[in-house]
Structures are given as structure tokens and as C-alpha cells.
Amino acid sequence: MGTTFTNIGNASAEDWAGITGHFAPFAAALPDRILDQLRQMEGDYGGFPVDRLTHCLQTATRAHRAGEDEEYVVCALLHDIGDALGPYNHADYAAVMLQPFVSEANHWMIEKHAIFQGFYFFHHLGLDRNLRDQFKDHPYYRRTVEFCALYDGPAFDPAGETLPLAFFEPMLRRVFAAPKRSLYQRADGELAY
Ligand SMILES: [Fe+2]
Ligand SMILES: [Fe+2]
């Protein structure tokens, strides 16, 4: 039976039992929605030598070939997924999506990658290419420099190896299978949703 409240403050425990029952399958389909969003990036070049999907796949391919672990590779795959809906803060967008599912180090790396990637082109735009220097003493500084230098930066190569989205799909599903942390976590650690 559907819920009938018109103000969330009047929803009953039974209403919430029904809503949480819908949440599990909805949350389980998150990887499908992410895959859809990645597919939407196909053919979107934005003036770059490869389209946005190819850039994401190539970044992930490079990380995988270099022996990075699964969680890192999935972060590489999704690092620019915010381009469409967060064009002015795309790195924050990806980081927020990844935050419940990945380590603090990987979250920080993705959140800050736009600043660190700026080292390679901000001077062409009248911006400060050394903006990343503010984080020189941060424990994840080196990690993020390397992400940009080894994987993100060189992943604009039309002739570069680009594994298909299907290759990364099982990894994506495993990383997004269950959150490590959530707003909806009870004091005992159990998820309310
Ligand atoms: Fe980016
Ligand atoms: Fe990128």
C-alpha cells in the first residue's frame, strides 16, 4: 500500500517501513545509473582529442595496467563524471558520489584532482598553475600529483589503450555494493536504510 501523508512530519513508522523497503532495490541500482551517466558522456568532446567517456575509460585503463587496486581504478573511471551537472565543480561532484564507498585517501584525491590537474594548463587560462602547492604538506599530496601525472593527464590519446566500459562494470558493482559510511548509519553501525 502506498503512503498517504502530505507532510513528511506526519509520516508514521509504518510509512517509513514501506519507504525503506523501496530503498534497498533503489540503492542496489546505483551502479546502473552510474553506467548510464558514463554512457551519456560518449561523443561529448568539448574540444578535447577524445570524448569524455573515452577519457574516463582511458584514465581507468592506465590505472589498472599500472597495478592500482580496484577501488582506485573505479575512482579513476568516475573522476570526471560530474562534468555534465557540475561543470564549475566537477571534482567535488565525483568526490561526493564516491565518498560513502571509498577510502579517505581516494576521496581526497578525486576531490582535489581538478586543482592538481590545473598544473598542466591553468597558466594557459590566466590562472595559477601552482594552486596545488597549498597542499604540499598534505599526506595525500603525492598520491594526487601521481593520479594526474600518470593517469588523468595522459588519458587524452586517441591511439591510447581504452578498455571498454563492460570491463570495469564488475569492479564498479563491487565497490558500490555497500557503503563504508552513511548518514543513515545508526549508533551501533547498522544501516537504517
Ligand atoms: Fe577532472
Ligand atoms: Fe580527467
Ligand closest to the CA atom of residue 48: 2
**Percent of the chain residues past pLDDT 70, beyond the cut:** 99
Which domains does the chain carry?
Answer: 34-175 (1.10.3210.10)
Q: Distance, CA 179 to ligand 2 centroid (Å)?
A: 24
Q: Distance, CA 40 to ligand 1 centroid (Å)?
A: 16
* Averaged confidence pLDDT in the chain: 96
Q: Distance, CA 90 to ligand 1 centroid (Å)?
A: 7
Tell me the per-residue pLDDT of 74-128, one tens digit each, with 9 for 90 and over: 999 999 999 999 999 999 999 999 999 999 999 999 999 999 999 999 999 999 9
> Measured between alpha carbons, how far is 99 from 146 in angstroms, rounded to an integer?
20
